[in-house]
Every structure is written in structure tokens, then in C-alpha cells.
Structure 1
Amino acid sequence: MRSSQVISSITDRPERPGRSLITANHEVIRRWARERGAKPATIAGTERDGRAGVLTFHIPGYRESSRIREITWDEWFHTFDLRRLNLIYQEQLRDGRQSSFFRTESPDREDG
């Protein structure tokens, strides 16, 4: 997380292609997902107390799995905010092609 560039609004841009980025901004996350055709999702079987479990995105052709279950943005962000998560992601690969890399991370984790 320390080596990631913080993106706090949709007007912020990566310093260079391939840069690891981090955000908790809902608009930034929605824009990133929309540009990739990604839908908010969870991994089936990881739900707890009626809430989404592991948060992910369903991106056609990327990380396909029968365990990915699409959910609403409201559900996704409710869980994201409740767990105080950040999204670590890339806009582009080093060669300038669009990247679909992402992961959620808790800044409260000791190894985070």
C-alpha cells in the first residue's frame, strides 16, 4: 500500500502507466469498473451475517468463475465501507494497454 499512488478524486491521474493506485472513492471505483465492463460482485459462499463476503468484480473474460455472484453497487459499497477497505488497482499496464488488475485491502491489517 505504501508504494501505491493515492487517487482521491476522478480528476487525479496516475503518475505513469503501470503505476499501482489506491482509492476508497466511490466515483473513482465506479468509473474504473465501467471502463472495463465490470459489475460489482462477491464470491458465493463467503457471505457473513447476510452481507456480501469477499468483494470482487465480474469482468467478462477476466477471472471467470462460477463462484462470482453479481450484487448491487449499494451492497458492494456498504460492505466496502463497513470493512473500511481500499481498492488497489491499475489503470494501465506499463506498455499502456488497459489493465484489469485490482484487489481490495484493509488498511487495518498488520501486514497491509
Structure 2
Amino acid sequence: MSSSNQTHDHNTIKKWVEARKGVPARVKGTEKNGDEGVLRIHFPSHSDSTNLEEIEWEDFFTDFDKDKLDFLYQDKKADGETSTFHKFVSRAK
């Protein structure tokens, strides 16, 4: 059985993403007025998405915190393999 975790701790998120060779990204064309736009975690080795643009962690976390997001993620799949499942959810009050 697989389980998920939820956090807004920057170090935990960065460590999880980088361990899976991911990078912080945004959807191209969604940025405006100093906002990074729609945030994503991109795994370049898993996709060749042309609509994502890599951004700096500092910019990613600025918008992540401004939007009061949490990172919901899974460490392992049910079969024990490393998981890349994640999503952004509203931070609990």
C-alpha cells in the first residue's frame, strides 16, 4: 500500500524533487505582473514538454508561499518503486 505526505517545507520539497531529477518550472505564458504563473515540477527525463519553462527555486518558492500551497507527494508506489506522484494543494489553515 502506498501513502502520501503533505508539506510546505522548502527543504523537504527540494530534496524530494531533486532526488527524482526534477526541476521547478512554470507553464509558459502564464506569468504576469511579477508572478511566476502556473507552477509545476518537471521531470525532463520523463517528458519533453515544450510548454514548461524551468525557473529558479527562489522564484518557485516565492509564488508557492504567496499562493499558500502545500506539496502533496508520494515516496513509493504500491509496488515499492520510487514515485514521482505529486500535486499542489491549498495549505491547511
Please give the TM-score of this superposition, normalised by the length of structure 1. 0.75
2:49 is the alignment partner of 1:65: yes
Stretches of structure 1 lacking an aligned partner (at least 5 in a row): 1-16
> What is the aligned length?
92
Q: What does residue range 1-112 of structure 1 map to in structure 2 within 5 Å?
A: 18-107=2-91
Moved segments of 4+, more than 6 Å = none
Please give the TM-score of this superposition, normalised by the length of structure 2. 0.90
Higher relative contact order (CA 8 A, sep 6+): 2
Local SS of the residue matching 1:95: coil
Stretches of structure 2 lacking an aligned partner (at least 5 in a row): none
Deviations along 1:52-78, one digit per CA (max 9) or x if unpaired, are: 111111212335410110000000000
Higher percent of residues as strand = 2
Local SS of the residue matching 2:15: helix
Local SS of the residue matching 1:80: helix
Letter in 2 for 1:35: A
